[in-house]
Amino acid sequence: MKNAASRFGWRKYLIFLLLSGGILGLMVFFSIKVFGFLYHQQEFPLYFKLFLSEKILMMTFLTMFLMLILSALISTLNIFFLSKDLPLLLTSPLRSRTVFTWKTLETAASSALMVVFFAMPMLVAYSYYFAPTLVKIAAVGFVFLLFMASGVLIGILIGLIIPAFFSVKRLQPVLSLVSIVLISSIVIFLRILRPERFGNPDVINNLVEYMQGLGVKGFAWFPFYWIAKALNLIAKGDYWGYCKAIGAFLVVILLLSGLLLFLQKKYYLRLFDKLNKGTPGSHRSGWKKSRFFKKKFLDYSTLWKKEIKTFFRSPDQWSQLLIIAAIVIVFILNMKGMPLPHASVKNLIAYLNMGMAAFIVAGLNSRFTFTTIPMENPGIAHIMASPFEKKKLFRFKLLFYVIPQMIVGFILFFTGDIALHLDAFTRIGGILYLAPALPFLTVQALYFSLRIQETVPLTPQHLVSSRSGISYMLWSAVYIVAGMIYFVRPFFLYHYNRFLQRPIPYLEISLWFAGFLLINTIMIVLFYKKCMSIWNKKEFTASS
């Protein structure tokens, strides 16, 4: 306490309390606003108000359910397998089942805390408007408890099974992968629900069609659907229906608890041993000669092989590709679902789509390109001490990232193109904007990464949140916005003259485009030269 106070620890606690109080206050405010708005809609019949509330609740509980599983999964691995008190507890006279039971409770408490924090304001607001009696509040609390129990149990079970397949040394990448899959699922699920439709029900022809459109068949098998349904039934006063939902929860909880006991009895201690011992695996894929690289580029082939093997053997690297996939899916869904009645709006969206593609590529650069050199530290010292030419390594890093980034950028742009059926001018404009912008963003990422002085092996999280990482994101945003502003003029010239049915000044527009290409080419060359200069002077002192 004394040390913490002397290091101004109390300030941190105060900031934490203020922040959490602020977040809680905001959530209460928004929950009351949302449910209050629905409750006070005079023209809506009660069942429709409840139906909309149920959909909102389902989306929120869907997110919470996945958060709960992830949180319980991480806690399980920590508490059941890696916790430092385990050797002491398991060698004490305590029965292993007692240890297991207490560890289950500890996991449930630690993983449920965050979800309770986020769910409380919503439940309070819902109860206030739709379940205001004591019995109903108790029923809301009870079903929420069962919902939490089912999520926690699923998380614990997954957490107990994972060590059967992965060694302790691979746990971190596995967890990264699981979290990414869950986060991507949340994004995709929420897009499938298309929440924007709540804001504008008028676009749907009739109520039945609208209500049908809000349902997703497969969700009926999940606890987040049951709790939303149960809360609806409580508000309606349909206690028989509520009991059926509770029954579903109880059956699932009983099954999961049985499975948990079985795992405890048969496998827990065996898995504990295995996890702490680690399981090596054999990789005999070898080091084949590359068919793609001809003699002149054999040096690059060496780096290519190393980079590909290390990339695809690191789940925390390749799993990020799932995020890209999620982004692309969300992108397509957004584009497809967008009501665009006027050509002018379509052009505006297409124009913004260019910037969006560049922003996504900047984000990917921040995670991959920006981190590639510092993360290779300190192994990179071996290459530097070898006869391999230093500049070739830098060139390779640039090529290895610039090509995929350009592909992703153009896929995102052309996805928008396909969805919006862009005209030829917008298509060419987009290509001329992205063609130099994407390589520049990649060179810029490498430039900022070279400013990092590595002293210890670094993680992507350290790097992205470092001063250089934040600088890259800020400067890339400035660059993208400046480019977009630059492009306003040629786009305006084209569309304005077309609207007035006047001759389009193609020469002036071409000059604007050429200017952009020229400025960017100069910037790319300058940044590349600057990078090379820093790279050549760079000292590799990491292992000292």
- Out of 197, 244, 274, 305, the only residue in the binding site for other proteins (CB under 8 A) is 305
Residue 536 within binding range of other proteins, rule CB under 8 A: yes
Shortest CA distance to 530 belongs to which of 469, 471, 449?
A: 449
Give 344 or 541: the residue with its C-beta nearer to other proteins: 541
Q: How far is the CB of 279 from other proteins (least distance, A)?
A: 9
Is the Cβ of residue 311 or residue 475 nearer to other proteins in the bound state?
A: 311
Does 382 sit near other proteins (CB under 8 A)?
yes
Contact (Cβ atoms closer than 8 angstroms) between residue 177 and residue 319: yes
> What's the start-to-end Cα distance of the chain, in Å?
34
Q: Which two tokens stand for residue 178?
A: 């699981």
For residue 290, what is the DSSP state?
P
Binding string, 351-380, against other proteins, x = CB under 8 A?
---------------------------xx-
Considering the complex, state which of residue 212 and residue 536 has its C-beta at the smaller distance from other proteins: 536
| Cα 92 to Cα 87, 89, 103, distances in angstroms | 8, 5, 15
Residues touching other proteins: how many (CB under 8 A)? 41
Say which amino acid occupies 440.
F
Is position 310 an interface residue for other proteins (rule: CB under 8 A)?
Answer: yes
Position 97: which residue type?
Answer: R
Q: How many other CB atoms are there within 10 angstroms of residue 144's CB atom?
A: 20
Closest among 353, 526, 523, 352 to 437, alpha carbons compared: 523
Shortest Å, Cβ 542 to other proteins = 8
The residues, any chain, with a CB within 8 Å of residue 125's CB and separated by 6 or more, are 28, 31, 32, 34, 35, 36
If one asks whether residue 295 binds other proteins (CB under 8 A), the answer comes out as: no
456 touching other proteins, by CB under 8 A? no
Residue 422 in contact with residue 416, Cβ under 8 Å?
Answer: yes
Residue 189 Cα distances to 90, 207, 215, 322, angstroms? 42, 23, 12, 15
- Contact between 304 and other proteins (CB under 8 A)? no
318 forms part of the interface with other proteins (CB under 8 A) = no
Query: Could you tell me the two tokens for 129?
Result: 């408007």
273 binds other proteins (CB under 8 A): no
If one asks whether residue 294 binds other proteins (CB under 8 A), the answer comes out as no
Q: How far is the CB of 537 from other proteins (least distance, A)?
A: 8
Q: Minimum Å distance from CB 176 to other proteins?
A: 14
Position 539 contacts other proteins (CB under 8 A): yes
The single-letter code of the amino acid at 69 is: I
Distance in Å, CB of 315 to other proteins, minimum: 10
Least distance in angstroms from the C-beta of 166 to other proteins: 12
Structural Rg of the chain based on CA atoms: 28
Residues 473, 441: Cα–Cα separation, whole Å: 10
314 touches other proteins (CB under 8 A):
yes
The angle subtended at Cα 228 by Cα 227 and Cα 233, nearest 5°, is 90
Q: By CB under 8 A, which span of 62-70, 102-110, 187-195, 278-286 interacts with other proteins?
A: 278-286
* Binding residues vs other proteins (CB under 8 A): 167, 169, 278, 280-284, 286-287, 289, 298-299, 302, 305-306, 309-310, 313-314, 378-379, 381-390, 457, 536-537, 539-544
